[in-house]
Amino acid sequence: MITEHSLHAADITSRAPASPPTLGESVYQQLRLRIVEGRLLPGSRVSLRSLAESVGVSTMPTREALKRLSAEGLVEFDRRSVTITTLTAEEIRELFTIRLALESIATEWALPRFDAERSGRLRAVLDQMTAPGLTPPEWRELNREFHQTFYSGGRSRYLLDLIHNMWDRLQPYMAIYVSDVPDFAKADRQHEDMYQLMVAGDLDGLLAATREHLNHTAETIIGALADGAGSTKEKSVNYDELSVGSFHALIERGDITSAELAAWYLDRIASLDSVDNPDGPRINSVVTLNPSALDDAARIDEQYARTGALVGPLHGVPVLVKDQAETKGIPTAFGSQAFAEYVPVEDATVVRRLRQAGAVILGKTTMCDFAAGWFSFSSRSDHTKNPYDPDRETGGSSAGTAAAVTADFCLVGIGEDTGGSIRLPSSFNNLFGLRVTTGLVPRTGFSPLLRHQDTPGPIARSVPDLAAVLDVIVGYDPADPLTTIATTTSDVGAYSATVESTNADELSSFRVGVLSDAFGDGADGELTNSVVHAAIDELRRLGTTVVDGVLHGDLPAWVADTSLYTAQSRHDIEEFFRSRPEMPHTSLADIVEEAVHPLTDLLIDIAAGPTSPEEDPRYYPGRMRQEAWRLKLLAMMADSDVDFLIYPTVQVAAPTRADLEAKRWTALDFPTNTVIASQTSLPAMSMPVGFTDTGLPVGMEVLGRPLAERDLLRFARAWELATSPRRPAKLSVTVDA
């Protein structure tokens, strides 16, 4: 609503064009607004780096802004962290006493000028305040509008300025007030009483009602602060390795909020991931932060405070998303420096479903250029370190997601798998990664690599978390015809329910076949083989029927004959470019010439490929060979009478960066077994099964029949319950002496 005060302010600013704010002024205004609006609550603590990154600047202008905010008494800060100042009960009462004095004068001046027009405006505001479904922030703004509409009748700009300054100083505490009260019935009655006294012209009664209303508000805030509202200082919550279930249990007990968890992850990213922190390990898994993440989390908290119900199955869950997925309003570069400034206008379908389920998108993760490779190096973000050994490779192309999930920079992550880009980095990072039956999860809004092989999916520290995300993202999407497969059976969905009912004893109900010619050779292969063979022995001990010696025969030739990157990927990628007029480039060859990481090889070969796959004589035979391979694998399972085939996810452990710089492998000859599922459209799970003698994680892949996701999740969950294979990476910040 436009008030007389706002019109007056507009008149003042219209007299002379305002100069654009300086960077320091802009940062100051953004941070002050967040504090004043209660998006950063009194007592909350964040790292200086995460605060700077949330507004898209370095720490230097942030420090300058914090100096001004500190002088105003809004924050306290040191070299590393920022704490939003909490007032004592005595200070809050003092401020409300001053507010009462100012508003009493404003009441005496405004009441004689109270007329029918202003009465009608106030009546409209009151009706909005009592409307059903009103959120706490909406009620708070209407509360302010009610008082401002009345006081502006006094026509004193100077008095209104003083009142507005007082409101701003108390506004963070009003955010606590609206979150703490079970409903606004009492405050609404007080406002209605004040309105009736205004209509009656009863000055003494109105002053007394104003005093009662402000006293009620002040004491409610003081009581909420005494109960710990807005503060995490005294809480002993362990945020490490949280699961979706444990996080929601903490929320329901009142021990944590979504905003607190999001802030904790942002702090970890600033301390342990950011390449700008010389004291940290600089994992470099997050390429872009969502500047609205804390605001999004706060809105979820406000809705929960109002309704007492979780907003969805992923209520407040902080998620990091591979930069292959378009995210509305958040830069999406697809791993390429050439697209660093591209900001999508729509979310990918998967991202939209995550938001609708209540997830908080923390930001975007690193990946190699256009997902064309098994490693992390990228023209956009260079190299992502493996949290278990910073000299080792994280694995690609969902490198950043896997590193971030295992380093505890988010609760769960989203990757994408064309040839193995979910499962390979999961194997290298002691995680569970699932490639679903192709088409079960929509690809809309993801940059393609091979359209008929692409599939987004979850990466998680635990199977229940994997299932929780999968329940949200699977299903038919009219914009992706391949997702019609999700409508062909009732075996889609209910993954969390499946996992919840699983116990460790169920391992004895499964039969698995060991694909013996999918194991590597040489010293590197033996490091991985020994871990996987030990896991197979453990499966036997736990009651699983293991069928040894399942031979594929001529496996390398099947891999080579069904690889279609150089025949098809250029067409699919450039078609994606052309479908979006706002894209900065449409030619892959131009991009490769302008911006490509020096260790990239596959993307260069792809750019030299045909504009239409039909032009390549290998294309149609390759597609037919993929179908023949799928049938061969299904026949092998049937002949061996097994539920799954098992083998090392990758035949070697995570390579060193030196190996990659020496070009020991190319993208097309790196010994990963993940292509078996990818080039046959079968579902497969990589699950953690142990570590090499040098402490490197090893994964075992479990290959299933089409739409066998529930069985894969049951098997992986039973393994998880029986063996507890998760071992967190140890990361730390260097402390100054």
Burial 627-666 (b: 16+ CB within 10 A, else e): eebbeebeebbeebebbbbbbbbbbbbbbebebbeeeebe
Return the amino acid letter for 90: E
In the beta sheet, which residues pair with residue 480? 477
CA distance 612 to 602: 18
Instruction: State the alpha helices, DSSP H only, in 476-554.
Output: 495-500, 522-541
Distance of CA 104 to the CA centre of its chain: 47
- 3-state DSSP call for residue 502? coil
Instruction: Report the 3 state secondary structure along 10-79.
Output: HHHHCCCCCCCCCHHHHHHHHHHHHHHCCCCCCCCEEEHHHHHHHCCCCHHHHHHHHHHHHHCCCEEECC
How large is the angle between the packed helices 185-200 and 203-226, nearest 10 degrees? 160
In the beta sheet, which residues pair with residue 415? 457
* Number of C-beta neighbours around residue 176 at 10 A: 21
Residue 636 · residue 513 · CB < 8 Å = yes
421 part of the active site: yes
User: Which candidate in 44, 274, 322, 379 is catalytic?
Assistant: 322
User: Which candidate in 50, 336, 421, 686 is catalytic?
Assistant: 421
Burial of 547 (0-12, 13-18, 19+ CB in 10 A): middle
- Could you tell me where the beta strands, DSSP code E, fall in 279-411? 286-289, 318-322, 360-365, 385-386, 389-393
322 part of the active site: yes
Residue 155 · residue 145 · CB < 8 Å = no
User: Which candidate in 44, 231, 274, 397 is catalytic?
Assistant: 397
Two tokens at 318?
């902080």
Catalytic residues: 322, 397, 421
